[in-house]
Each structure stands twice: as C-alpha cells, then as structure tokens.
Chain A
Amino acid sequence: MGSFICKRSFQSLISLIVLVMLVFFLARLTGSPADLYLPQDASAAVRHDFNEQMGFNDPLYVQFVGFMVGLLHLDMGQSLQFSRPALDVVLQAFPTTLMLAAVTMPLVLLISIVTGSLAAYKPGGIFDRLASFISLLGAATPNFWVAIVGVLVFAVTLRLLPTSGTGTPLHWVLPVAVLTLRPTGVLVQVVRTSMMTALSAAYIKTARAKGVSSRAIVFVHALRNGLLPVITVASDQAAGIVNGAVIVETVFGFPGIGKLMIDSVLLRDFTVIQAAVLVTALAVFVINILVDITYALVDPRIRYN
C-alpha cells in the first residue's frame, strides 16, 4: 500500500509540473499587467520600473526558474490585485470552495445511492421510471440556468432565500442545490445499472432463499458489490464539481477559488492564477489517490502491491 501511494504521488507530481508549466507560460501570453495596473498615460520609464520591480523584464526562463525556486519555499510571489502573498489569497478563498464540495459530495452520494438502488430493485417499475427521468433531467440541465431560475423562483418571487453572498446557512441552500444536481443525475444512472447487475447475481438468490429482508439484500449484500463503478464515476465528478463551482460561485457571488481564478485571469494577476491552479490540482490529485485507497477498502480482491 505504501509503495503504491508513493508511485501514484510520483505520477501525480509529473502531471502537476506539466500543468504548472502550461499555466505559467499561457498566463504570460495574456498580455502585460502594466497596461492594467498603471494609469493609461504612464510614461515608458514608469512602466519599465513597474516591470522591473515585478520581474517582468527578465527573460521568461529566468522568471520560470525564479518561480520554481520560490515554489520550493512555498513562496508564490505577490498578488498584483491584493498586494498580498498570492498563496495567502488563494488559501483564504479555498475553504469556501472546499466547504461547498464537502457539503455537496456526501449529499450527491447519499441521494444517488439510495435512489439508484431502489430503482434497480424493481426495474421498469413506477419508481424506476420516475428516477430515470428525473436523473436524466438533472444530468442534462445547464447548471447556470438552474441557478438563474432558482434565484428567480426562490429569491425574487417567493423571497424565501437570499440572492447571493455568504453568511447565514440559508445562503448555502441554492448554491449547494445547484451544484448537487448534475453529479446526482449522472450517478443515479450509474448506481442503477451497477446495482441491477449486482442484484442478478447468484448470492442474492441465496440470500433471498435464506429469508433475508429485501432491505438488507439491497443495501448490505448487493450494494457493496455494486459500489465499485460508482466510486470511479464519483471521482470523475470531483473535478466536475470544481467546474460547477466556478459557475455557481460566479452566479451567487461566493468568495471561493473558482471566482478568484476567473477574476485573476481577467486582471492578469499571474501569481494568483498559478497558486490557485496548483492548489486546485493538488486537491484533485489527493482525491484521486483517496479514491484508489477506497477501492481497496470496498473490494478485498484489490491489493496494491
């Protein structure tokens, strides 16, 4: 197990370096920050000084080496828009997104596993048809559109929920609901298919013959075997949740990492973009490794040696 984690971490490290290089050079192609941060009529000398101070006059490779060396000290440079260390800015925004994901993911898993299992218990039944239709609807609806319609219905018309911002738990209801929708829609279908396979196995017949209650058959005997494909798809949805978070945070004015990243790209705040990309990618990699470990826990046949 230990060596497996080492190997996976090493692979992730390579992917991470490729990603960081890509973002570093792409971000610098967006144009000069001096155009944005200095007054329009700033003289050439002022521009030169600004670039000199920020290190933008050095050749790109020098900037890159400087960035990598800084990275080793966990120093990602100063943010231009906030005049604070970029990493601090990112780490301040990160918990909001993490919280959003941490509330959403268990909700997604709970709803989809229960619904999918019940739907698979009687394929073609009324509950199955209803679940299939609603999950399809959830997977097919653009989340920004749901967000807008949700604001219209619950905030503007019914005045039950606030339109944007954070603060009270009520502020979290709409964003979490919107974020839950698509992954749940996808997962219900996966759970249903894999549970239908699991429920047709011979050991289920045995359990039934023994007189095990149908609830125990579905949620104890079949679920454990039906869970593997679900974990795979769920881990894919983890990256998807970050995608969704970008939109949800923008619509609802959440000070999370997605909104920060969009703002930083628009403001050419290179250091923040790099730090945000790095932190997000790191989080996704950690989730992927955790998922691999979960595999081994759920399925005793899987050993990482």
Chain B
Amino acid sequence: MHSSTPASGITEMAPPLIVPVKSSGRGAARNALWLLWQDKSAFVSAILLALVLGAAIIGPWLLADQARAVNLMARNAAPFSLSKGWLFFLGADALGRSLLARIIVASQNTIVIAGSAVLLSMHVGGVLGLIAGYKEGWIGAILLRMADAIMSFPSMLLAVIVLFVFSPGIENVIFVLAVSRIPIFLRTVRAEVLEIKERMFVTAARAMGAKTERVLFRHIAPMVMPTVINLAALEVAFVMLVESGLSFLGIGIQPPEVTWGLMVADGRNYLGSAWWLSFWPGVAIMMVTIALNLLSNWLRLVTDPVERWRFQTVAGAK
C-alpha cells in the first residue's frame, strides 16, 4: 500500500481543499506554512521579520566592531557606492562609521525594547483583563477606571515625565512603554471574557467544581489567545514607533546605546549635507512596522474559523 501511492507527492502538488482543523505536530506546522504561502504579502513580511530577528540576535556579535570603527576616509560617504566595500552601500555617518552595520547593530535594542515591552504588557494586561472580566464588581471597576486614566492621557507625555524621573535606561524605557500599553490588553481581554464566560462550557466547568483560576487559565484564556496574539503583533509595531519617537526627543535610549529612532535623531543635524543618515533607519522602522501589520492581518484571517474556512476553500480552488 505504501509503495503504490506516494502520499507526500500528491499533497505537494495538490493541496487538500479543506485542511483538517484539528491537526498536530508536523502537520500543523506545515499547514500553517501552506496558509502563509497563500498570502504572498504575509509571506514576504514573515521572511523580512525573520531576517530582522536574525540580525537582532547575531548582528551585534558579528558587526559590533564595524559599527564602531571610525574611518575618517569615509566621513559622510554617500550611499549606493560599493567602492569602500559592501558595508558602506548605505553610506557612512559623520565619523565614517558604516550605516548598514549600525542599523543592523541597532536592530537588537529596537527589537528587544519593543518585544519585551509588549510581552510584559500582554501578560500583565491579559491577566488583569481576565480578572476584570470574570469578576465584575469593585475589582473590575477599579481596574477599568485605572485603565481609563492611563489611556485617556497621551502616553508620550507620561513617558516624558517618568523617564525624566528615572534615568532613561533600557529597562525604564521598556517599563514605561509596557505600562502605557497595559490598558489596551486589559480592555480587549475583558471584553472577550465578558462574552465567553456566559458560554456553556464555562458553566459546565464551574458546575464540575473547577476553581476560579482553573476556569480562567485553563478554559477561558485559550479562547482569548488568538485575539491577544493578533493584538500583540500590532502593538509591537506601535511600541516601536513610540520608542523611536522618545529616542528622537532625546528622552529615550541614550548614546552610546543605539536604536533606529536615535539614529534618525542623530542624522537630523546633517540633513542638508547627508540625508541618508536619517533616511535609512526610518526606512527600517517603516518596513518592520508594515511587515507586522500585514502579518497581523493574515493572523486574524487564519485564527478566525469562519475566515479560515473561506481562505482555504478560495486558495485551494485556485
């Protein structure tokens, strides 16, 4: 039986019209990859994000010296010239440091700050949202009022004050950004929980004697997860923009640490003579933000059962 039908060959040529919803292990990963391949813009975004992630992880280890090396021959070298080596393809700054190397090295701080701020606010906001949604009454009311107070105020101004009080190190920037984004997760999760907790399976779990924590984390949390992950992707993009804005105002990350926002700010003084100093880091921010948006769009379609079904039948019929 195995010898007569090469099953793998068939699946590669003609993807199944309706992929089994409940698949596990390698099948699930392959299924996800196939769904990703169907949306070309999401596919490109995923590759770009993987590249940036790779750069953030191994970039500083590979290129730290090149990013710091002062080369007076290459001061404000113009971009698109390979005469000084591929590292200077995007040009060089006023000290003759390779812009490409600096952008790659700076990606680490940029990604670490945005990523950890969102992870932090996602967990804190998520748990608080579960509680606020499940336990209405005064706990929920207080949590909601606090979220309102933070949200109604422009986050940038709050960050300015807080960062001025507690010197603007990386940890503090992460902390401020995380706090300012907690309300978003809190409100989103709460709204979902309010609806989910009325459903039959929650009542059933309670009737079986499950404790509150178990109902919340075992039964309700997995239902909220797709929304939260989708929101998190958008939030990473947003936090990156805010972080770069803070760095730009001079109250975010301080030199010698470097982020993309800081590079844009530094280049501002050379605007007339060397536009590329501000231009390329800005392009980097923009590309990652767009990629995150596109990927989150795809995630929303794929994690929604109705949309996924439509997606699969349309893509499969092609």
**What is A's interface to B at a CB cutoff of 8 Å?**
11-12, 14-15, 18-19, 23, 26-27, 29-30, 136-137, 139-145, 148-149, 151-152, 156, 239-240, 242-243, 246-247, 250, 258, 261-262, 265-266, 273, 277, 280-281, 284-285, 288
User: Closest CB of chain B to A236's CB: distance in Å?
Assistant: 8
* Interface assignment of B264: CB less than 8 Å from any CB of chain A: yes
Residue of B nearest to A146 (CB): B282
Known contacts A15-B149, A149-B279; decide if A140 and B154 are in contact (CB<8 Å). no
Majority SS at the chain A contact face:
helix
Known contacts A15-B148, A30-B164, A149-B278; decide if A284 and B153 are in contact (CB<8 Å). yes
* Number of inter-chain CB pairs below 8 Å: 128
* Interface assignment of B50: CB less than 8 Å from any CB of chain A: no
Residues of B within 8 A of A246 (CB): 154, 156-157, 160, 249
Interface of chain B residues 135 through 194 with chain A (CB within 8 A): 145-146, 148-149, 151-157, 160-162, 164-165
Inter-chain contact B152/A144, CB cutoff 8 Å? no
B160 touches which of A149, A262, A288 (Cβ 8 Å): A262
Inter-chain contact B278/A140, CB cutoff 8 Å? no
Residues of B within 8 A of A273 (CB): 161
Residue of A nearest to B271 (CB): A152
User: Closest CB of chain A to B306's CB: distance in Å?
Assistant: 14
Residues of A within 8 A of B121 (CB): none
Residues of A within 8 A of B237 (CB): 140
Majority SS at the chain B contact face:
helix
Interface-located stretch among B6-14, B20-28, B92-100, B288-296: B288-296
User: Closest CB of chain B to A27's CB: distance in Å?
Assistant: 6
Inter-chain contact B271/A148, CB cutoff 8 Å? yes
Inter-chain contact A140/B293, CB cutoff 8 Å? yes
Inter-chain contact A239/B289, CB cutoff 8 Å? no
List of 10 A-B pairs having minimum Cβ-Cβ separation, nearest first: A145-B282, A140-B289, A15-B149, A242-B154, A243-B156, A29-B165, A140-B290, A243-B154, A144-B248, A18-B149
Complex A-B: 18 CB contacts under 8 Å: A18-B146, A26-B165, A27-B165, A136-B294, A137-B286, A140-B290, A144-B264, A145-B264, A148-B267, A148-B271, A148-B278, A148-B282, A152-B272, A156-B272, A246-B156, A247-B248, A262-B249, A265-B160
Interface of chain B residues 277 through 304 with chain A (CB within 8 A): 278-279, 282, 285-286, 289-290, 293-294
- Give the interface centre of B154, B244, B261, B272 by most chain A CB atoms within 10 Å: B154
Whole-angstrom CA separation of A18 from B148 in the bound complex: 11
Per-residue A-contact encoding for B41-70, CB less than 8 Å = 1, 0 else: 000000000000000000000000000000
Residues of A within 8 A of B267 (CB): 148
Whole-angstrom CA separation of A243 from B244 in the bound complex: 13
Inter-chain contact A152/B155, CB cutoff 8 Å? no
